[in-house]
Amino acid sequence: ETGVTQTPRHLVMGMTNKKSLKCEQHLGHNAMYWYKQSAKKPLELMFVYNFKEQTENNSVPSRFSPECPNSSHLFLHLHTLQPEDSALYLCASSQDRSNQPQHFGDGTRLSIL
């Protein structure tokens, strides 16, 4: 049973749609992350939030917009995505210290038509 919950598990959307991915962690952690996992590529860190403040944005296109209303919830708002954005999007959380491992959610498998 994961302490990090992501919804939806699967999402199919057109390039003109707007949708949001949701992540919730029940571990009392202070840092949350969005990753993208594409086939045959390493996980790519997209965004980092520490105590609700964004501390990292790894040159992610503006069609991805994160939101962190509190340290337990993280959203990824999507609009006008491209086919190459189809991937598994993983949310993770950790304590605020850098040497703490991260706990991942099940991911949202996103397909852009």
Partner 1 sequence: RKEVEQDPGPFNVPEGATVAFNCTYSNSASQSFFWYRQDCRKEPKLLMSVYSSGNEDGRFTAQLNRASQYISLLIRDSKLSDSATYLCVVSPGANNLFFGTGTRLTVIP
Site residues, partner 1 (CB under 8 A)? 2, 31, 33, 40-43, 45, 48, 50, 55-56, 90, 94, 96, 98-99, 101-107, 109
Residue 26 CB, nearest approach to partner 1 (Å): 15
Residue 72 CB, nearest approach to partner 1 (Å): 17
DSSP class of 65:
E
Nearer to partner 1, 59 or 98 (CB): 98
Give φ, ψ of 42 to 5 degrees. Answer: -70, 160
Nearer to partner 1, 12 or 96 (CB): 96
Nearer to partner 1, 49 or 64 (CB): 49
Q: Are 92 and 4 in contact (CB under 8 A)?
A: yes
Residue 54 CB, nearest approach to partner 1 (Å): 11
52: left (phi over 0), alpha (psi -120 to 50) or beta: left
Residue 36 CB, nearest approach to partner 1 (Å): 11
Pairing status of strand 10-13 against strand 108-112: parallel
Q: For residue 41, with 0-12 CB atoms within 10 Å meaning exposed, 13-18 middle and 19 or more buried, which class applies? A: exposed
